[in-house]
Amino acid sequence: MEKPYVIGIDMGGTNTSFGIIDTRGEVIRRGAIKTQKFAEADQYIEELHATLEPLIEEVGGIDKIKGIGMGAPNGNFYTGNVEFAPNLPWKGVIPFAEMLHTTFGVSAALTNDANAAAIGEMTYGAARGMKDFIMITLGTGVGSGIVINGQLVYGHDGFAGELGHTTIVRNNGRQCGCGKTGCLETYTSATGVARTAREMLEMRKDDSILRNIPLESITSKDVFDAAMAGDIIAKEIFEYTGRVLGEAFADFIAFSAPEAIIIFGGLAKAGNLIMNPIRESMEKNVLPIWKGKVKLLFSALNEADAAILGASALAWELKN
Amino acid sequence: MEKPYVIGIDMGGTNTSFGIIDTRGEVIRRGAIKTQKFAEADQYIEELHATLEPLIEEVGGIDKIKGIGMGAPNGNFYTGNVEFAPNLPWKGVIPFAEMLHTTFGVSAALTNDANAAAIGEMTYGAARGMKDFIMITLGTGVGSGIVINGQLVYGHDGFAGELGHTTIVRNNGRQCGCGKTGCLETYTSATGVARTAREMLEMRKDDSILRNIPLESITSKDVFDAAMAGDIIAKEIFEYTGRVLGEAFADFIAFSAPEAIIIFGGLAKAGNLIMNPIRESMEKNVLPIWKGKVKLLFSALNEADAAILGASALAWELKN
State how far residue A144 is from chain B, nearest Cα, in angstroms.
Answer: 9
First to last CA, chain B: 13
Which pLDDT value is given to residue B236? Answer: 97
Give the list of residues 6+ apart from residue B279 with CB closer than 8 angstroms, or none. B246, B296
Nearest CA in chain A to B132: A156
Walking along chain A (320 residues) 10 residues at a time, the average pLDDT comes out as 90 91 93 94 96 97 96 93 86 95 96 91 93 94 95 95 96 93 96 96 95 95 96 97 98 98 90 96 96 96 83 84
Of B155, B170, B257, the CB nearest to A157: B257
Beta carbons within 10 angstroms of residue A26's beta carbon: 12
Angle, CA B102 vertex, CA B97 and CA B108 arms, to 5°: 35
Instruction: State which amino acid sits at residue B281.
Output: S
- Among B239, A18, B179, B205, which Cα is nearest to B162's? B179
Cβ-contact A147, A122 below 8 angstroms:
yes
Instruction: State which amino acid sits at residue B43.
Output: Q
* 3-state SS assignment for residue B5: strand
Which pLDDT value is given to residue B73? Answer: 87
Which phi and psi (to 5°) does residue B146 adopt?
-115, 130
Contacts B179 to A, Cβ<8 Å: 288
Give the list of residues 6+ apart from residue A304 with CB closer than 8 angstroms, or none. none
Beta carbons within 10 angstroms of residue B171's beta carbon: 9
Which pLDDT value is given to residue A76? Answer: 94
The tally of CA atoms less than 13 A away on the side-chain side of residue B180 is: 30
Of B251, B256, B257, the CB nearest to A167: B251
Beta carbons within 10 angstroms of residue B302's beta carbon: 13
Contacts A240 to B, Cβ<8 Å: none
Give the list of residues 6+ apart from residue A162 with CB closer than 8 angstroms, or none. A144, B254, B255, B257, B287
Torsion angle, alpha carbons of A64, A67, A72, A76, to 10: 180
Collect all residues from B whose CB is shorter than 8 A from any CB in A.
130-132, 146, 148-149, 151, 153-163, 165-170, 178-180, 247, 250-252, 254-259, 285, 287-290, 293
- Among A311, A184, A302, which Cα is nearest to A249's? A184
What is the Cα–Cα distance from A63 to B294, expressed in whole angstroms? 43
Contacts B247 to A, Cβ<8 Å: 167, 170
Which pLDDT value is given to residue B265? Answer: 87
Of B159, B254, B259, the CB nearest to A165: B254
Which phi and psi (to 5°) does residue B183 adopt?
-65, 145
B59 CB-contact burial (10 Å; exposed 0-12 / middle 13-18 / buried 19+) = middle
Q: What is the pTM of this model?
A: 0.93
Cβ-contact A11, A314 below 8 angstroms:
no
Helix, strand, coil fractions of chain B, as percent rounded to 5: 45, 20, 35
What is the Cα–Cα distance from B97 to B107, expressed in whole angstroms? 8
Which pLDDT value is given to residue B1? Answer: 62
**Domains detected in chain B:** 5-120+304-316 (3.30.420.40), 129-299 (3.30.420.40)
Bridge pairing between strands B15-22 and A27-34 = unpaired
What is the Cα–Cα distance from B162 to B139, expressed in whole angstroms? 14
Instruction: State which amino acid sits at residue B262.
Output: I
Counting other chains too, the contacts that A211-215 makes at CB distance below 8 Å and 24 or more residues apart are none
Ordered per-residue pLDDT tens for chain B, 320 residues = 689 999 999 998 888 999 999 998 899 999 999 998 999 999 999 999 999 999 999 999 999 999 999 999 889 999 999 988 877 889 899 999 999 999 999 999 999 989 999 999 998 899 999 999 999 999 888 999 999 999 999 999 999 999 999 999 999 999 998 899 999 999 999 999 999 999 999 999 999 999 999 999 999 999 999 999 999 999 999 999 999 999 999 999 999 999 999 999 888 889 999 999 999 999 999 999 999 999 999 999 877 788 899 999 999 888 75
Instruction: State which amino acid sits at residue A220.
Output: S
A5 CB-contact burial (10 Å; exposed 0-12 / middle 13-18 / buried 19+) = buried
Q: Alpha helix (H) ranges present in chain A?
A: 41-58, 96-104, 113-124, 185-188, 190-203, 220-228, 232-256, 272-285, 303-316
List, in sequence order, every residue forming a beta bridge with B304; answer none if it has no partner. Answer: none
